[in-house]
Structure 1
Amino acid sequence: MGSVRKWTKAEQERHEADQHSVEWLEWVAPQRFTEQLNRFFTETVPDMPEDPYTVEGLDAAEAAQLRLWPAADGSEPDQEVLDQFIRYIGETYRRTLGGEWINLAQWSSHVPRLRTLHPIIRADYSELGIVPAQSVAIADEERTGRAYREFYERFAQAARALQG
């Protein structure tokens, strides 16, 4: 596990500027966010449980991902659909465990069209933040159908520990 260090003044200034970039503000715009989540629930993963922001919802989403993107054949997934998965996973954490969306653009993004964005959930229960794109990448690599749930349960345990 790597070490954590305080950001330099230049890194902090860049981070602050990244939160106000046009691309980021468009990505987090409420209308766009709602549209992408609605498409996720009606088109991409229509068989979600009644409350999609649960581990059962994460299981359904990961099963859909594995169906949509068969074993690594080298092809890139549809970027709009990938964007929906990132939003859904992050929202599950945000809505159930707390946190807020931030753009950590100095990290490279797993989403080719989001090269200047790196959407993460910043939360007290995670030292480095929750990276929804990482969950998608690991689920695709491992193909166990349990990656989303295992990540979530680990962070849920950390969140409960902070609550006492």
Structure 2
Amino acid sequence: MLTQGVPTQYIRVLRELYSGFTTKISPFYNEVVIDVKRGVRQWDTISSKPFSATLENVMSELEWEDMEVKVDGRQLHHLRFADDIVLITPSISQAERMLADFDRVCGNVGRQLNLTKTMFIENGQVSDAPFSLSYVYLGHELNMANDLAPELSRRKRAARGGFNSVEEVMK
């Protein structure tokens, strides 16, 4: 945040607010206290700001000026919304290079790409790109056929997995 121009006194206050932070959960009426090691409180008004500042830092370290693509009259190499990033490239090889660069710089600041959520989607003009007709975006499985069955199956699997993960606590 310092590189973003945030005064040091604000950074100090935020560090103090989040040091020694715990959260409580009550699975099946048994209270469990968990030390929060990193991150920010969910629904905190500041919660998206440290992430955005970190991402801005990452993006500023990347040297992608020579990899821009003209989109609607503007030169772009990526789009961002919250924690979703779309890399815009003319070729798969360039996308692979950008992804490797991004992963490296993320690692420098203690962040890691979620490779299970990383995918290539083609626009129909690239003949040799592997592509997907469905993907998970903001927690919902989207597909080109607008079919809800895969999303319902995915949610059932997730619920079953969540239940199985706490099954020992119930015994």
Give TM-score, length-normalised by structure 2.
0.26
More strand as a share of residues: 2
Larger radius of gyration: 2
Which is bigger in relative contact order (C-alpha 8 A, separation at least 6)? 1
Give TM-score, length-normalised by structure 1.
0.27
More helix as a share of residues: 1
